[in-house]
Amino acid sequence: MFPREPVPAGPVLLRGHGPADADEIARACADPGIARFIPAVPAPYTRDDALSYLKSAGQTWEAGGAEFAVADPGTGAWLGNIGLKPPGARGNAEIGYLVAPWARGRGVATAATRALTAWAFAHGVHRVDLLAAVENLASQRVALAAGFQREGVRRGDEPLRDGSRGDLVSFARLSTDSGEPVRPYLPFLPGGSLSDGVVRLTPLGPADAAGYHALENLPEIVKHSVPPEAPGMAEAEKSCREAGMLWLEGSRAELVIRDAGTGAFAGHIQLSNVVPPLGEAMTGYSLLPQFRGRGFATRAVGLLVEWAFTHTSLARIVAGTSPENIASHRVLERAGFTREALVRGRLPGSGGTRLDDLQWCRLRPAG
């Protein structure tokens, strides 16, 4: 069993809970974000629920786990909870946490997670697991900042409030790991978006599902898609839910092209097929009909490529087009791409056919 002792954690202190924490726990757990990403938390949440949690925290200690309040080291004020489930048959533990809305943005969760993980290792645990909902990007960023390695997605692992099952992103840290923060290969956009005053690029997210579905179902878009199939609404919603997770994973950056003046959904652009050892990635884009012919695609490609060359080590960005898609050729030419090759029969077409792929490239500027 773990010893019941305070754990210093830099800007915070991990301490035992007390009855005085109940009111603050109840206030924090009324936050919709906590209710959204921790389905086991009652909603609505009352002070009686907080008292029940404090009782269960004691039971966790007795069962071989640990439950701490994350507190201000000077005042002792409650800022959140963090704990370890009792180690399983393999001797591994799972860490979980929540932070009060008023304490976020200060590195509280990262500091507490790093400290408790090190404390677990010091008491004989070899592996600490951390699970986060697919859409909970804040928690996934905490995991990376605390030195946890992303290991994959556990499908349908979490029971949700509506009776369905949710996917969880799996992270782990071993006692033999360095514990150094894991830096995402694709950093998030500075300020949350890219804009030149005419178009604005924002990360694709759940709220964009309707626009994304409508765009991807246009016949001319389907024709040039790989494979040439229109996604259903459920598939579009899944793509939008998972876009942020895949960005953090470093495999692709999915963005919405917006009219900078109105914020309207104008199209979609992506950086995909990211291969860090090669320093190469691919871009693709599409626009709704009412936004075509206004230079939006060229501007979007230019913004994305400049961001990629400035904020990543990518040296080469490629694009593939149908030989007959003259509009797309012009976009790439205006965005500084050069034709490289015609690869015959490379792409799947409708009805089992194969299509040629006209390939383009833009290189990182010398120096």
pLDDT number for residue 226? 86
Strands (E), the chain: 7-9, 12-15, 66-71, 78-84, 93-99, 127-133, 149-159, 165-174, 194-195, 199-203, 253-259, 265-275, 280-287, 316-321, 338-348, 354-363
Name every residue whose Cβ is closer than 8 Å to that of residue 269 and which is 6 or more positions away in sequence. Answer: 201, 255, 257, 283, 284, 285, 286, 297, 300, 301, 304
Query: Rounded to the nearest 5°, which phi and psi values hold at 169?
Result: -85, 130
Query: Rounded to the nearest 5°, which phi and psi values hold at 99?
Result: -125, 135
Token pair for 299 = 């501007």
Name every residue whose Cβ is closer than 8 Å to that of residue 347 and which is 6 or more positions away in sequence. Answer: 226, 320, 354, 355, 356, 357
**DSSP conformational letter for 18:** -
pTM of this prediction?
Answer: 0.93
Name every residue whose Cβ is closer than 8 Å to that of residue 291 and which is 6 or more positions away in sequence. Answer: 257, 259, 266, 267
**Dihedral in degrees, nearest 10, Cα atoms 268, 285, 138, 124:** 150
What's the number of CA atoms in the CB half-sphere (13 Å) around residue 157? Answer: 13
Token pair for 284 = 């693709």
3-state secondary structure of 136: coil
Residue type, 46: T
Domains in the chain: ranges and CATH? 7-174 (3.40.630.30), 190-363 (3.40.630.30)
Instruction: Please report, for residues 123, 144, 323, 327, 358, the alpha-carbon distance to residue 343 in angstroms, rounded to integers and kept in the order given.
Output: 58, 39, 10, 19, 6
Cα first-last separation, the chain: 57
Token pair for 296 = 């939006």
Contact 76, 15 (CB under 8 A): yes
Cα–Cα distance, 92 to 127 (Å, whole number):
5
**273 CB neighbour count, 10 Å cutoff:** 15
Name every residue whose Cβ is closer than 8 Å to that of residue 18 and which is 6 or more positions away in sequence. Answer: 69
Q: Mean pLDDT in runs of 10 for the chain (367 residues)?
A: 94 96 97 93 95 96 97 97 94 96 96 98 97 97 98 96 95 97 95 97 98 96 89 96 97 98 98 97 97 97 97 97 94 97 93 93 91
3-state secondary structure of 261: coil
pLDDT number for residue 120? 97
Contact 154, 172 (CB under 8 A): no
Residue type, 38: I
Residue 254 forms beta bridges with which residues?
270
